[in-house]
Structure 1
């Protein structure tokens, strides 16, 4: 894992390993090629979640002409449907809960979010995700309950008076914050009830809530063009995007020395990283650092596939992750905006029982023995994703998942167990209810356990093996 301690240790290694030829990496600093590569590796691991999240937020809240645009900053965008293969901005999206999205710029003043009363049997949540992609807090069924409430969302350093009528204060350490709303959909005929819940979500500036004049507005943000999913892996402009995002991320005390280190290659809030001014040798060193970062991720992925690291380990607050930057990168790559473990966990299958990668050229079964279904307070689902894009899969019956709300439709085994069929070809009408369509090529499947019970969190319950049909 790459923590702050690892970063500093790598600096010590360079100091004892000898200094290579120094080439200017910015207008202010020079650094050896060896150390530049190490810093680039560290900065890429650190910065990937910030850059990828910015890519998504730009599509959702800035690019008004784009197909993925939701709403301007400070306005809630309700999506009164579940996600389909046409939704491509976010990797590994769920298709269980219609989303609502909100982008908040907290520089001028706080915002008040209002939630309606929601039926007690309907799960909903609001996940507050900052610019670092830390899940800083939650509201909803499992945390604040199902009653109507007002929530105050404040930015870094805000120390104002909390007004009456506020149930909870959400404190962000970044100027930019994205609340992500999820509302359970029981079945397709339930969508109008979900729309009613979504219509009850409201947001307004604190001054409006108080009936006072608004403070002076912060200077508008001149949003820069983001990279694409592909060019984030190939373009050194990545570091300029990171520098832009860091402007809105006050440096945490635990990262002061880290930021000083990053600055040696021109990475930091408001700095300019100019790839065109790098020598060929320095360019190769920085690109090598990026390659090293992806090698680190590949090693982490092996730990995921082997069950040594799970979603429970990689989503959460800054305190929970304890500055484990590789875990944060892994979380973003595999499923950005995933929930913290008390809200949801995501046991996934990248390999079958024989440790072979999954492909639509094979057929698989996933059997839950009697009384061994995923233990949840809300609901569970199994969703299919085509790889390497990690997006939902087009199929003839428009089915992207199987979930616990479909239990009455499933055909149970003779002993009461449940066997799900994962394959590309339709198994026939008599078995179709239990079929999760797969693409022809590589794929992964994710279990989602919303509001998991204790036995899912403490390891007493384990996901069953995925077996290839031979």
Structure 2
């Protein structure tokens, strides 16, 4: 029996696995496709559940169609999602667009401060942006509508944006100049408003959408065939996209279909083995892709994040983005350059080497807003605890950094202090594997066209 998430109070259904018609060989190939396709959606569900559903959890931010602000920088204690950005305090708004659109109101912000609202559909695609680059710093009222809304916006709306899915995420970033600047950031955040259209428009009304019974996330849910249960659940919040109809038809032969139950325990042994083998194949393809394409900078973050038109349904790229740094910005908004290996192509490990990173004179990262290099633990993908409480080095810190004699800049990336005379330029690393991410906000053209060359980490024997 089919069930619909929209229009029901709870999800009541029978198994769709009776429709498992693929042979084991076919199932393995389809499961690989479905794993790469569905992983970002399920990873997004994890974050949504912790931030908007689990009100008693430590990472809860706000209910749907309300906003939660974090008026502090991220630290190693923040674990809601991997590879967090500690330069721009976040605000979070999960949008339920089933009943009606919502209006995002932005306040005016001073011209020298970067801010943005990244609009993300349930596929983790960045379907639009508000803020400095796209709408300026003057503020305004912006209507976010689901895929089925056909109404007329009120006169006070500056722009209408449509989402492919009925569940969407508005992720706000507000540039923080220094710790003394937190009060100013908090004031800006207080001006971020999320208002259902019926409340924004006088004399209007809308019927409330029925409540949803959200399944609780489980350990390893993204790593096994359990992923497909959550994928089916989430896909019920978006109408099939035309370019994916044949793909979804193929998925249905192994029980993957929007709004259907999926119980791996109901499978025959050879069917479940085929699905797990397909998932392993997907992981192996990603591992090779990361090693040969991402770590070598042949594929950039700008290739991995964007809207559907930009990604062109490249599900390996979308998977890679979600795996290494979910909710990354599109190329026009920010460039992300990863330091996973050194200048010899060897994975970086601060228990084996110290490292230097040298920028030639006049060759710092070219940004119209700002740049930042952040350190992450290779195992947890979180920020690294250290005695300086320093998780990054950014362009705002340049007056405090010590330049080289020739006018260049050398950073020391290592676990132990390089000495008091060099500590201003020290980016602390864990005593083990790590990676760094260089973020360039509003990158200049020379970043994308290759004119500016990324300097590499140079190992120094301990």
Q: Secondary structure of the residue that 1:139 maps to in structure 2?
A: strand
- The answer to whether the 8 A contact 2:16-2:260 is kept is no
**Equivalent pairs, count:** 445
Alignment of 1:1-400 (within 5 A): 26-228=17-219, 230-233=220-223, 235-302=224-291, 303-361=293-351, 362-400=353-391
The CA deviation string for residues 203-262 of structure 1, in whole angstroms up to 9 with x for no partner, is 11111111124211111111111234x4421x3221100000000021100001111000
Q: Distance in 1 between matches of 2:81 and 2:432?
A: 21
2: CA distance between counterparts of 1:126 and 1:447? 20
**How far off its partner does 1:148 sit?**
2.1
Matched-pair contact (CA < 8 Å) for 1:25–1:264: no
Distance 2:390 2:203 in 1: 49
Structure 1 portions without partners, runs of 5+: 1-23
What SS class does the counterpart of residue 26 from structure 2 fall into? helix
SS for the counterpart of 1:60 is helix
Secondary structure, counterpart of 2:313 in structure 1? coil
- The alignment partner of 2:247 has SS state of helix
- Structure 1 residue 42: deviation in Å? 0.5
Contact 1:353–1:465 (CA under 8 A) maintained in structure 2: yes
> 2:8 aligns to what?
none
For 1:304 and 1:360, the matched residues in 2 are separated by: 21
RMSD over aligned CA atoms reads 1.1
Could you tell me how far apart the structure 2 residues matched to 1:431 and 1:329 are? 39
Contact 1:112 1:150 survives alignment (8 Å): yes
In the alignment, structure 1 residue 424 sits paired with structure 2 residue 418: no
Deviates more, 1:432-441 or 1:388-397: 388-397
- Following the alignment from structure 1 to structure 2, what is the Cα–Cα distance between the partners of residues 212 and 403? 49
- Measured in 2, the distance between the counterparts of 1:158 and 1:214 equals 15
320-329 vs 161-170, which deviates more? 161-170
Unaligned runs of 5+ in 2: 1-14
| Cα-to-partner distance string for 1:81-113 (whole Å, 9 max, x where unaligned) | 011111112110101000000000000000111
C-alpha displacement of 1:464: 0.5
